[in-house]
């Protein structure tokens, strides 16, 4: 949540910062602002409520000349979205400006103490407290900005990524992180700073991911020094980015979400590449092969994740139990971390996160590590915190996902979980070679089959018109289709703001059946699988109560097609692979409904892509 950008160099500071903010807008878009050290030696802050485009309009007639600056796009935690609460924040004397991503948990105690020393606060944010604290320490202890930041951070409890500018020192940016991401781009005589590498990928591929507890002093003239809170110098570990600029653009699509839905044949191909070999007969997942003893000895697998990643995790449970015969539990990371969980050293904990930065998932990982479990991460963002905090793992390789509603990351996560299950089954001998080969071969066909499903887009767009004005939706599925129902409902909720509930189809008769009528569409995910006959009964139960049914069925289905009001046919697949195929029409349905309602699908209200606060 919240995006930070910084720049120190000879380029056009304002343009670089604004472009960077647009790239980071997926992280939050309640308000935005920039702080520029002007040629007059003053720090000028321009900030406003709303999206980055509002900030651009606000800045149109301002003097933006500068050679160093920091910027921020906000997802509000302390204080409502407003001009005043927008970042950057000044210290009271206007000497320093700060941008912050994270939450200062003890801000109230610090604020009270500073007020007693005569500080006045103008915003409701925890960030302003940090700005005032740093300046108070700098003035009281007559020390450098770097030293003041270090001393202030030692008093802070919580999560932060910060960038700080000082009026009298326009050749320096101080940056620090604890539990919120920050990466420094190293250009030719210039430095960039950002919450992820997307703001500077077209300027440089060389970067340094700041680690927890580290403070960077970025100085004009190619000098970068990283120390920790105890002033011990750290090694500078330079990474070369593999990301390309085209991955960050819409490529002719009206929205990132639609682009990402249509990218899925390619992203799934990338996800599978090198992992399913010998024409589907062998599965190679390095993170598993390198730790065979852990997976052979595992008594239980615990999956932790949030949101869409949790839905993928639930599918992981079905996959791992089916293929590997290991007991699996799936926990919301936010519940797990405070539930006093019983974790054994023979447990394998799998943490799933697209961003690799979700605060609750990171906290769950720490708990599992402390209990002595082997922790395996599944993530998309290379170099993010989760891959660094886990003992082994596997990237989904679907490229940057910018639409706030997760689509290609979900199918990538499910694909990786399928491959992991096959790899463990191979290791433990719980599937025969024939069984592995049958699924392995089908996996290789998935990209082509998803392409076929995408051909339904026009039909789904037309169908969406029928459903646009419904106020509630019910999504039903059984077995592998139950997590798909949950994910379909979440997708609709988050971008169209229509209430939708995902439910196990057979549980419907224990309550939700009371809601069924013509007004509430029921989406039923009913591919041909071992529960097909059962779900046919559920479809009949809904129809008998006058329900309006849209069913996702296997090509050639005649039974459900005769009962449901509308059907979308998807290609036949082995049961364990159906979720990847059936989730795609639901992504498109949500997208078109949200578009019909005129919603901003890439930046839905109140949401942020990366949830780095509790």
Active site residues: 2, 609
DSSP helix/strand/coil, 354: coil
Chain position carrying tokens 């994270």: 102
Tokens of 606: 């109140």
Q: How many CB atoms lie within 10 A of CB 299?
A: 11
Chain position carrying tokens 């509630």: 472
Q: Of the listed pieces 284-292, 366-374, 388-396, 398-406, which binds ligand AGP according to CB under 6 A?
A: 398-406
Q: Does 308 bind ligand AGP (CB under 6 A)?
A: yes
- Which residue among 309, 390, 582, 583 contacts ligand AGP (CB under 6 A)? 309
HSE-up of residue 415 (Cα within 13 Å, Cβ side):
35
Q: Of the listed pieces 54-62, 264-272, 300-308, 535-543, which binds ligand AGP according to CB under 6 A?
A: 300-308
Tokens of 160: 């932060």
Query: At its nearest, how many Å lie between ligand AGP and the CB of residue 360?
Result: 8
Non-local CB neighbours of 280 within 8 Å, separated by 6+ positions: 437, 439, 440, 441, 442, 443, 444
Q: How many CB atoms lie within 10 A of CB 278?
A: 10
**What does residue 352 show for φ and ψ, rounded to 5 degrees?**
-115, 130
- Which residue among 185, 307, 488, 502 contacts ligand AGP (CB under 6 A)? 307
Rounded CA-CA distance 91/423 in Å is 55
Q: How far is Cα of residue 63 from the mean position of the Cα atoms in its chain?
A: 36
Rounded CA-CA distance 285/228 in Å is 35
Q: Does 385 bind ligand AGP (CB under 6 A)?
A: no
Q: Of the listed pieces 29-37, 142-150, 305-313, 459-467, which binds ligand AGP according to CB under 6 A?
A: 305-313
- Which residue among 97, 306, 516, 520 contacts ligand AGP (CB under 6 A)? 306
Q: Does 198 bind ligand AGP (CB under 6 A)?
A: no
- Which residue among 179, 358, 548, 578 contacts ligand AGP (CB under 6 A)? 358
H helix and E strand count, the chain: 20, 26
Q: Which of 150, 141, 136 is nearest to 226 (CA)?
A: 150
Nearer to ligand AGP by C-beta: 360 or 575? 360
| Number of amino acids touching ligand AGP (CB under 6 A) | 16
> Residue ranges of the alpha helices (H) in 171-327?
256-262, 264-272, 286-289, 292-297, 307-324
Nearer to ligand AGP by C-beta: 312 or 551? 312
Nearer to ligand AGP by C-beta: 159 or 551? 159
Nearer to ligand AGP by C-beta: 493 or 528? 493
Nearer to ligand AGP by C-beta: 217 or 360? 360
Q: Of the listed pieces 71-79, 350-358, 461-469, 476-484, which binds ligand AGP according to CB under 6 A?
A: 350-358
* Residues in contact with ligand AGP by the rule CB under 6 A: 306-309, 353-355, 358, 361, 404-406, 494, 607, 610-611
């Amino acid at each position: 949540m919240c995006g930070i950008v910084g720049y120190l160099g000879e380029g056009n500071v304002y343009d670089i910062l604004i472009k960077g903010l647009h790239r980071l807008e997926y992280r939050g878009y309640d308000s935005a602002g920039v702080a520029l050290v002007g040629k007059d030696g003053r720090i000028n802050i321009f900030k406003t409520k709303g999206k980055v485009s509002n900030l651009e309009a606000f800045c149109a007639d301002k003097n933006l000349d500068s050679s160093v600056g920091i910027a921020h796009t906000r997802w509000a935690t302390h204080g409502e979205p407003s001009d005043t609460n927008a970042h950057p924040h000044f210290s009271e004397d206007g000497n320093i400006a700060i941008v912050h991503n994270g939450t200062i948990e003890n801000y109230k105690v610090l604020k009270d103490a500073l007020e007693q020393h005569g500080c006045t606060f103008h915003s409701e944010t925890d960030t302003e407290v940090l700005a005032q604290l740093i300046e108070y320490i700098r003035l009281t202890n007559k020390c450098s900005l770097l030293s003041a930041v270090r001393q202030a951070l030692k008093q802070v409890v919580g999560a932060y990524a910060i960038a700080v500018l000082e009026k009298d020192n326009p050749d320096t940016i101080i940056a620090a992180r604890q539990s919120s991401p920050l990466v420094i781009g190293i250009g030719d005589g210039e430095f960039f700073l950002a919450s992820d590498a997307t703001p500077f990928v077209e300027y440089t591929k060389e970067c340094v991911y700041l680690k927890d507890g580290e403070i960077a002093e970025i100085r004009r003239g190619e000098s970068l020094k990283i120390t920790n809170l105890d002033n011990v110098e750290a090694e500078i570990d330079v990474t070369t980015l593999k990301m390309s600029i085209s991955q960050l653009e819409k490529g002719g699509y009206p929205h990132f979400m639609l682009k990402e839905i249509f990218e899925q044949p390619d992203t799934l191909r990338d996800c599978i590449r090198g992992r399913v070999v010998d024409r589907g007969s062998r599965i190679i997942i390095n993170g598993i092969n390198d730790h065979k003893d852990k997976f052979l000895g595992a008594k239980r697998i615990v999956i932790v994740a949030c949101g869409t990643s949790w839905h993928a995790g639930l599918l992981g449970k079905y996959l791992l139990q089916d293929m590997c015969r290991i007991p699996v539990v799936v926990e919301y990371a936010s519940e797990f971390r405070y539930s006093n969980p019983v974790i054994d050293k023979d447990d394998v904990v799998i943490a799933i996160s697209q961003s690799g930065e979700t605060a609750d998932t990171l906290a769950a990982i720490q708990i599992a590590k402390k209990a002595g479990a082997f922790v395996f991460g599944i993530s998309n963002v290379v170099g993010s915190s989760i891959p660094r905090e886990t003992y082994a793992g596997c990237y989904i390789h679907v490229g940057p996902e910018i639409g706030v509603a997760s689509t290609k990351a979900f199918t990538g996560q499910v694909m990786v979980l399928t491959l992991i299950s096959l790899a463990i089954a191979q290791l433990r001998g719980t599937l025969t070679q024939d069984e592995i080969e049958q699924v392995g071969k089908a996996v290789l066909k998935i990209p082509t089959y998803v392409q076929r499903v995408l051909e339904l887009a026009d039909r789904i767009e037309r169908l969406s018109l029928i459903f646009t004005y419904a106020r509630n939706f019910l999504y039903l599925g059984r077995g592998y289709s139950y997590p798909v129902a949950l994910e379909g409902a979440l997708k609709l909720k988050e971008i169209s703001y229509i209430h939708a509930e995902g439910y196990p189809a057979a549980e419907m008769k224990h309550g939700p059946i009371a809601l069924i009528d013509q007004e509430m569409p029921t989406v039923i995910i009913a591919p041909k699988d071992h529960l097909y006959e059962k779900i046919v009964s559920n479809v009949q139960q809904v129809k008998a109560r006058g329900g309006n049914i849209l069913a996702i069925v296997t090509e050639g289905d005649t039974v459900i097609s005769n009962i449901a009001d509308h059907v979308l046919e998807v290609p036949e697949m082995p049961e364990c692979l159906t979720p990847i195929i059936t989730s795609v029409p639901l992504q498109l349905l949500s997208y078109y409904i949200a578009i019909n309602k005129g919603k901003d699908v890439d930046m839905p209200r109140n949401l942020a892509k990366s949830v780095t606060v509790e």
